[in-house]
A = this chain, B = another copy of it.
């Protein structure tokens, strides 16, 4: 293990000088010494010990990213956006996957705090349980008290900078668009009601339907993933249009309908939410509400890394754009 001291000795300079040449930035070092140090470092194959550096500097070059599930294209897209920003700033990324367990999310914040990461990004819907949220907040406050920065992609419940998808409005606009096609009888494939995002989407959708004076949609709950969509879709009947609260559930629903011989959009229209990349390759192409996922991840990290806005947490709302494709058409 080659240390900076070895390099300094080999170059015939002091530890301080070697440090200034190889890592430090504040002060100048004369050209001749600088060259000697660089040569010595190369010859010995010196690698900075980041742990020591972090300890001495009191700040690391790592950010933490907490997502629910990396194999879900929704999270992969957001993570990718964030990672590009991190890379452009020379930061490494530490990832934790919670598999939708709020306890794990809290535990990860604690661990990332111990790692003294520069910033933590929490990606994914918040939960409705106030006690869980309170505990997470406590943990985050603790982290921030020691200089950590935090941002969230989800709902503005943590007192930190947040990128908020406008779930209600997006769902409402989708509802109006679908009603505009002539649909009157809707089913909603809803997620679990302890997650806020799916709940908001349900409310936005039903609210708009009510305003239009149409019969209230039938709400079928399932888990917030493909299997949940599949399972909930098997219980659908007597409607002309199905709204799945996210795309992966919609994908599950399409599979379910295919397996049951229900044609989309012939027998029933289907729409999702998020516009994950995978949708390009579905048949029929899925109607959805587009969210700029990669941008959301990038933006959130930029907020976390940027100067704190006078201590005041900022919330940026991202509005979705309704995109009607072939999976929806008028009834009959």
Contacts and interface: CB of A to CB of B under 8 A. Distances in A.
Contact of A70 (B80, B92, B251, B282): B80
A258 B76 CA distance: 26
- This protein's copies in its complex: 2
Interface residues of A, number: 45
Contacts of A51: 51-52, 54-55, 60, 115-116
A77 B69 CA distance: 11
Contacts of A115: 50-51, 62, 92
A324 interface: no
Nearest to A142: B45
Given A55-B49, A114-B48, A282-B281, A71 B62 contact: no
A245 interface: no
B52 A70 contact: no
Contacts of A146: 1, 47
A331 interface: no
Contact of A47 (B92, B93, B142, B277): B142
A50 B114 contact: yes
A49 B116 contact: yes
A-side binding surface: helix, strand, loop or mixed? helix
Contacts of A278: 278, 281
A94 B64 CA distance: 9
A265 interface: no
Nearest to A69: B80
A76 B54 CA distance: 30
Given A55-B55, A94-B94, A47 B113 contact: yes
A111 interface: yes
A235 interface: no
A319 interface: no
Given A70-B80, A87-B97, 14 more contacts: A45-B142, A47-B110, A47-B113, A47-B142, A48-B114, A50-B116, A51-B51, A51-B54, A73-B73, A92-B111, A93-B94, A93-B96, A94-B95, A255-B281
Interface of A: 1, 45, 47-52, 54-55, 60, 62, 70-71, 73, 76-77, 79-80, 83, 87, 92-97, 110-111, 113-116, 142, 146, 251, 254-255, 258, 277-278, 280-283
